[in-house]
Structure 1
């Protein structure tokens, strides 16, 4: 494999400490990953890093939509990731398809 991945998604474990995640993030940044997503089920939060030139734009999401530039048309509601009542797969698919044709 050549080059860096376009997208990395990490699910944060209850056992992960910041000292575990910082070197991992540094590695991803050093190889130029375009988008890095950390999903933290305990904090019910998504941390989204998007490459912007030589630096990264960072956002924290607890609600709203996560849209990935590296996967055109991909959108997921952050609440879906943490809801015990998982969304209907058909409705979810329809929402994602609708996002392709704004």
Structure 2
């Protein structure tokens, strides 16, 4: 961040479970429906010369695939998902969210397993519309037809990815 390398503590099992669940759902959904590419947390997104964050999940729509290079995304993703970490749950809200807004990322999700809340920010004109969900259907504006039930994320044992995918694709 701003030319500094920030080392994070290792991810918790809960973080990894949610990460794999969401990445698998998005990847399988997009394999079926097309329209975008989803990548995991080791692919940097260059937002300025001094900041290339590695969000937990990024979605790049097909019309902007030309920004995907072998080592990084040259510009903002169309959708970013961050999962709050146990060692510093406020980091995503405090450090990343303002910068993601500044980069005008169209859709930002922050999954907070500690508060059992999903913060969703979507760009509407020159401002962001923010909502926080603990339950109910949360639909993506960037990936048409993709949605999750927020309460899926708070279950101690996450639901079957395939069962959830069938439900999403069937709707």
Shared fold by TM > 0.5?
A: yes
Structure 2 equivalent of residue 29 of structure 1 = 101
Listed one character per residue, the Cα deviations across residues 53-99 of structure 1 (whole Å, up to 9, x for unaligned) are: 11100000000011101111111111111102322333212211123
Asked which structure has the greater RCO (Cα within 8 Å, sep 6+), the reply is 1
The DSSP-based 3-state class of the residue aligned with 1:51 is: strand
Q: Who is 1:58 aligned against?
A: 130
How many angstroms apart in 1 are the aligned matches of 2:156 and 2:91? 29
1:38 matched to 2:110? The reply is yes
Please report the TM-score for the alignment, with normalisation by the length of structure 2: 0.53
Aligned counterpart in structure 2 of residue 16 of structure 1, from 84, 88, 98: 88
Q: What is the RMSD computed on CA atoms of the aligned residues?
A: 1.7
Pick which of 85-94 and 36-45 moved more: 85-94
- Alignment partners' CA distance in 1, 2:81 and 2:139: 13
Would the aligned equivalents of 2:82 and 2:92 in 1 still touch at CA under 8 Å?
Answer: no
Q: TM-score, normalised by structure 1?
A: 0.86
